[in-house]
Every structure is written in structure tokens, then in C-alpha cells.
Structure 1
């Protein structure tokens, strides 16, 4: 009996020592975790595996939008997310429906190239209030503080680059037409102003017509047909994007007009091909792939930490593409 008591005491001591050792190991294991000891810091969120990133852009018929959607999809998948890719076709109602669908699917984040600077404010605010962060690419909205990021090309800088090359091609004189984008798109106004800031310094350059072609190639073609009939001595065309510039080139070819200086903005593969062929003078490449990639990276960081580490408004500079350097560029990026 006495021996049994001693054995019992030894077991109790061993158990106590084991418990103390486990507690010590646990304490040592958590001592390096700053979030565990500082409640003021944002707590990391759960892993990305299986979480949905909804990617919504204008029509992929435009290679720019296709490139940014595909880049965003690939980047999100590489980080472990599932993705959905959809187009609002520049229809604010369809955009609202797609955002509602993303919310119903409990998306972890939305990457959005929006359908209007004003029309998109409500849907972005709705998503934010529902706890789904929105990361805007390419186009800004007329409101700050509701999207987590607005990542756009430096449209003013890009337009000025393109306009400087346009002036050079026109030798500082002659009549020209400007084709502008959608009036609801902030970029259209910013680019037009960037063009004017440069060209207005050359009084011998005369803008004889300013036509809205809504970023569309066929509409640009049709508008240019009319312009060419009215202004047979036209010397230049400066377009708010490459899609419209390519439409203008087609109209010039159809009218058998040569020697007209055509400049666009975007850096699309079609425009670069025209530049190499000598039918376009230049474009300013806006890095669609880089903007989309940054949006997904910042979405991932926000999902994990509650912060992006970046200001909301972010601009990426454009690069001038001419015949001299056209081979250096690929799909909306330098090779």
C-alpha cells in the first residue's frame, strides 16, 4: 500500500511536469506572433483557397479589355482564388446585375473596369457596404472613399505624349479631326484635354471637326466617311483610343486617302500593326496588364490583412509607340 502511494505521487509529478512543458512550448510558439499580442493591428484573414474574385470589364471584343480581364484572371488563379469573368458591355444596368451576382456568390473581391464614372458610384458603394472590396482598373469613378483602389493609366500624360508626336507628324500645321470616346467615361475628357493642352500651342493647326465615336471602330469608320467628304484636304486624325484610330485608318483606305497623320492611344496590337505598316503615326501604350495585375495583388493583400498598403488613386505612366520602337511592345506591355 505504501509503495502504491509513492507510485501515485511520482505519476502526479510527471503529469505536472509534462503539463508545464506543454504550456511553455505553447508560450514560446506564440511569442513571435505580433498579431496575437497586439489587438490594435488588423488580423490576417483566411487563406485565399476557394475564395472568389469577380472580374467585370467592358466587352472583350476590344483587345484592351480582353487583356486586362485575362491578366486579372491568371493572377488571381496563381494566388489560389477561383474567378468569374463577365462583361457589362458598358451598360450600367447590366453592371449592377453582375455586381449583385458577385455579392450573392459571396465574392471575396471585385475587380472592375466600370460602366460610367457617375453610374458606377451606387453599385460600388453597395458592394463596399456588403463587405466586398472593389478594385477599379482603367476607369475612375467620380467619388473617392468607397473603392479600395482606383488604378488607371496616366491618361493626361499619355495624351500629351501622343499629341506631341501628332504635332511632329503634322509639322505643326494643317487641318485635323478629333475622335472622342464615351462622354460618360472620365478618360474621354481627360484625353481630349491632354490633346488640346499640346495642340493649342500651335496656332497653324486647325481642328475642323470633333466627333464622338464612343470608343467604337465601326462608328469611327462611319464618322470618318462623312468627315472626309466634308473636308477633302484633311491632314490629320487624333483619336481618343486605338480602336477608333483603326476605324479611321480603314475609312482613309476606303477613300484612297494617303499621307494623313493618324495617332491613337492604348497601344493595341492592331494599332501597333498599323504603325509598323506606316498607316498610323503613333499611339501611347497604356499598360492594361500591369494595372490589372496590381489590382489583384492589392485585392489579395486586402483580403489577407485588411489593407492594400497603397493610396486609393494610383496612376501608371504610358509609353509612346512609334515605328522606331514598335517591335519592343507586346500585348499592352513592353516585351
Structure 2
């Protein structure tokens, strides 16, 4: 009798182990079968390359089939819509999307949901029926931090020019409105708000025009780093020393400029974390887990005080060799020796 009980216990143990092993194998197999497409606003900047790196890291962790695509630049709204349409016939189970124009993308995103394709927005939210979740920066709140930072370093007064992304772009609307909220109640005056379509080259021309119209401007806030770097170039060419320039994104080029004493600051978005979180949420949703309707990714200000720590943090998205190309071998040696 005792032997029978022992044999039974051993048999149950073996069965449980085999069942557990089978479940794990089936879960891994299911994850590998997930086909997820990430559609970004563009692939031509270090910011979006970092988002892509985060998405790919999550895909590698969970063993999913991932593609990452995007238009040529952030003005190609129709191209992004066409890319989204293409994904609907490619058998994807999930779409992770950073919409260039949320309202313009609404129809195709709702079409995806109607075909049982889960949709998660990242970086920029969109309002449409059936959305699974949103992962990204609270752009208004982050820009409000930028406004308060500027009000502080300007001692509560000064003339600021704002260079923003394309007119009508929701994310850049939020970054302007939040900044205005941040300086409210101070003597900081916004003398001009002009679009430069998120382009460094266009920002050079816009800044040159601002200098002509407002030669006494003493600060510039740009709603992405590319435009901040363009503004800084124009100011340098015009020998306008002492004008404080702040960007938004925390790109490697911006960090390099801050470390060199050129740009004053940038609002750091965790671009890597945005990409990673978007794909991770999608995998969990496809596996049947309940995910939050909104997952905020933190932001903070980078200036001379914390720029080296922020450069070290870039190793999540870029190799040491790539950082040496971006910043120079001597700079990286100094940063990592600390």
C-alpha cells in the first residue's frame, strides 16, 4: 500500500513537471507566433532610432516577430497612412503606432481594430474606438517643466522665441501649450512662435528671421532638439552670444551640444523606454493580460548638471562604438571614467 502511494506521488510529480514544461513551451511558441508591426513617425533621427532599439529589445526578450517601419521624415503624413494600410493585409496581430496626425490616422486605426488587430499608440496618443493602450510622454506636463525651468534660469523675466514642429501637429501643440503654462504668472514674454517642421535646416532660417525681427530676444525654446540645434547654429553665425536655447527629446546631438556649452538644456524623453513599453504592452495584451489604458513614461530636464549621466544612459540604445562616433573617443572615455 505504501509503495503504491509512493508510486502515485512520483507519478503525479512527473505529470506536473511535464505539464508545466508543456505550458511553458506552448507560451513560448505562442509568443514566437505573435506578429507585431511598429510604425514610427520617421526613422531618420537618433530619437526614432532609440525608440526602434527599445522596441527591438522588447521583441527579443519576448521572442516575437517584429517589424519597425516609418516614413522618410516627420512631414510625410500620407506616407505613414499608406504604411499603416499596408500592415492590415500582412497578418499582424498587433500595431504599435506613433501617429504623425492622430486625426488623420483615426480611420485606418479603427479599421485595424475592426479586423481584430490590436492597436497601441506610443509617443503621441490618438483618440479612436477600440484602442488598447497608450505609452508615452505627457507632452503638456513635460513642456510645463521646460517653461518653469526657463522662468527660473531667466530669473522670471525675458523675451523668448518658440520654434515648433509643423502647424497642426498635436504633439507640438502640446509642447507649446505646456511651455506657456509653465511661464504663466512670470514676466517671461513669448515674442514669436514659428514652425520649422522639426527640421534643423529650416530652424536655421527661422531663427535668422527671428533675430532680424527681435534682436533683443534672450532665449529660445524649440519643441524638438533638431530645431534647437538649428537655432543654436543661427545664433552662433550671427554672433548672438548669451542667448539660452532649450530643446526637447534628449537626443545624442543635443547632449553633445549641452556638454560643449552650446545648448542650455533639453527635456529628456525616454525614447528607448517608449519603444520598449509599447511592444511589451502589446505582448501582454495578446497573451490575454489586462493592460492599463495609459502608461506614462517619465521625463526630466538635462543640463550641464546631469548631462554626463544621461550620456552613460544611452548605452541602452547605442553601442560604445556608436557613442564614440557620436561624441568622440576622448569624451566617452571621460564620461565613463567618472
Do Structure 1 and Structure 2 share a fold, with TM-score over 0.5?
yes
Larger radius of gyration: 1
- Residue from 218, 221, 245 that aligns with 1:262: 245
2:192 equivalent in structure 1: 209
Distance in 2, matches of 1:75 and 1:231, equals 47
Give the conservation status (yes or no) of the 8 Å contact 2:146–2:182: no
Distance in 2, matches of 1:197 and 1:334, equals 34
**Residues 104-143 of structure 1: matches in 2 within 5 Å?**
104-143=89-128
SS in 2 for 1:188: helix
Distance in 1, matches of 2:315 and 2:206, equals 32
Q: Kindly state the Cα deviation for residue 236 of structure 1 after the two structures are TM-superposed.
A: 0.7
Query: Which has a greater percent of helix?
Result: 2
Give the conservation status (yes or no) of the 8 Å contact 1:139–1:152: yes
Give the conservation status (yes or no) of the 8 Å contact 2:249–2:269: yes
1:246 equivalent in structure 2: 229
Q: Kindly state the Cα deviation for residue 262 of structure 1 after the two structures are TM-superposed.
A: 0.7
Distance in 2, matches of 1:331 and 1:207, equals 34
1:196 equivalent in structure 2: 180
SS in 2 for 1:104: coil
Relative to the length of structure 1, the TM-score reads 0.81
114 and 332 in structure 1: CA distance in 2 versus 1, 3 angstrom threshold: farther
Aligned residues: 301
- Residue from 125, 147, 159 that aligns with 1:163: 147
2:302 equivalent in structure 1: 321
Distance in 2, matches of 1:278 and 1:164, equals 21
Structure 2: gaps of 5 or more residues: 1-7, 21-26, 317-338
Give the conservation status (yes or no) of the 8 Å contact 2:219–2:245: yes
**Residues 269-284 of structure 1: matches in 2 within 5 Å?**
269-284=252-267
132 and 331 in structure 1: CA distance in 2 versus 1, 3 angstrom threshold: farther
Q: Kindly state the Cα deviation for residue 78 of structure 1 after the two structures are TM-superposed.
A: 3.1
Distance in 1, matches of 2:181 and 2:231, equals 23
- Residue from 113, 126, 134 that aligns with 1:150: 134
1:59 is aligned to 2:46: no
73 and 142 in structure 1: CA distance in 2 versus 1, 3 angstrom threshold: same
287 and 65 in structure 1: CA distance in 2 versus 1, 3 angstrom threshold: same
Q: Kindly state the Cα deviation for residue 169 of structure 1 after the two structures are TM-superposed.
A: 2.5
2:68 equivalent in structure 1: 85
Q: Kindly state the Cα deviation for residue 158 of structure 1 after the two structures are TM-superposed.
A: 1.4
Q: Which moved more, 1:182-191 or 1:313-322?
A: 182-191
Give the conservation status (yes or no) of the 8 Å contact 2:285–2:291: no
Give the conservation status (yes or no) of the 8 Å contact 1:163–1:198: yes
SS in 2 for 1:48: helix
